[in-house]
A and B are shown apart, each in its own frame.
Chain A
Amino acid sequence: MTAYLLRRILYVIPTLIGVNILVFLLFFLVNTPDDMARQALGDKAANPEQVQRWQEARGYDRPRFLNTAATGLAVLSDTIFWQKSAAMFWGNFGRSDMTLEPIGAEIRRRIAPSLCITLPIFAGSMLVNILVAMLVTARRGDRIDLGVQLICVLTMSISTLIYIIAGQFLFAKILRLVPVSGFLPGRDMLKFLALPVVVGIIGNIGGGIRLYRTLFLEEINRDYVRTARAKGLPESRVLFLHVLKNALIPILTNVPIQLLMLIMGNMLLENFFSIPGLGGYTIMAINTQDFAVVRAMVFLGSVLYLTGLVLTDICYAVVDPRVRLE
């Protein structure tokens, strides 16, 4: 087990190095520092001198991989790759190209608002998905099952954007129940989070219910279920105590990876509801062509994803004794 885990962790390191190098090549070979400076300065101010100053101010005037003018370790370390890309391995995300603010501090500040919407959406979706999937599993084949499946397909076919705009129009403009967008800390936060959380849950349930229904249906025909029924247990107890417990194994093993990705926020919801989280930060960086932030977010996403995968492997071993990692 320990050897397996070590092996998995060791696989992560070369993968991350690969991601890091690939991202660097994409950003710095396709889009040179010169191009970045011109985009940031705009046509009006982008004369060669300003371009040079912009690059100097952000450290893009260094050589990319090898600094032949330097001596010792500086040959490697006094380069764009080392300063802007490799440094992310030890948590130094550098500064934003646009605002020159430290990216690491901004990420730390924005995690909480992101989690304020992604966590309730995650928990709410899980709850709704499991309860409804359990109901339709119990009534499999009848009208309720068909009706729910139809609604699921419908909700999956509609873009989240439509839910957002319709939600804002109905609940904020017509019914005047919640603010259309914004974010305030403390108790006031609730009135701002209600609508994006509901919209997020509605956007998630279609696919979720169908997936969980499939998982529950797989379980419901197993021997132990038949045995439980034979013992005279009510159907509800069979479903909630036995089927749910066993069907949760594939669900729970996916939780670590999903939980970690929650940190990255929800780009669409944060953007439309003006929530100052990491999803909005990424969108803003893309819109303003703040490549330093985009690079940092891509790397952070990779780290979280790979960590999630390792945790998933661990969860399998812990939750399901049939799994032997060796």
Chain B
Amino acid sequence: MADDMLKSTNLPQNPERATLEGRNKFMGFWFFLGGETVLFASLFGTYLALKNSTVDGPAANEIFGLELVFLMTIILLTSSLTSVYAMYHMKNNDPKKMQLWLGITVALGLAFLGLEIYEFYHYVHGYHFGYTTSAFSSAFYTLVGFHGAHVAFGLGWIISLMVRNAKRGINLYNAPKFYIASLYWHFIDVVWVFIFTVVYLMGKVG
């Protein structure tokens, strides 16, 4: 049976859920995302409580530029879509195309992260809006930074999977791993949608 796990032929329709291990991973990961939701909800709550506590530092509507953030949103949403393609090819047992689409996902993720770093750099140097400037700045960087750290972790994760499985096909052992990595990526995307709305749009308008 152990050999079956690593065979790349005759895969079932949903290779990620074909084994008990796969089903466990699948379900465990959904629950993990439930916990992550509480984590981000707590961070959002903290942010909302402190978003007007700017003391002497700049306020939200003075620093946010929607153009850049909008671009970042588009990039991350697109990367979510490309990871869907990757999973589609995984289910079709086409590892090359899966790797390709994962590669595109990673590239988009890196672009997002690069822009976020640029954005932070810009705030710090252009507006003297550092981590310790005010309670608002601490809350902003912590919330958005936590998301950024999740993106970075997700990138590391997907890259490791790609490298590890570069020379072998899709099988019952690695299919669940790819699948939950893509779940994670979607989750990050959803969180960003909330950040875009609550932090940036409401910060600019509200």
The yes or no verdict on A and B being binding partners is no
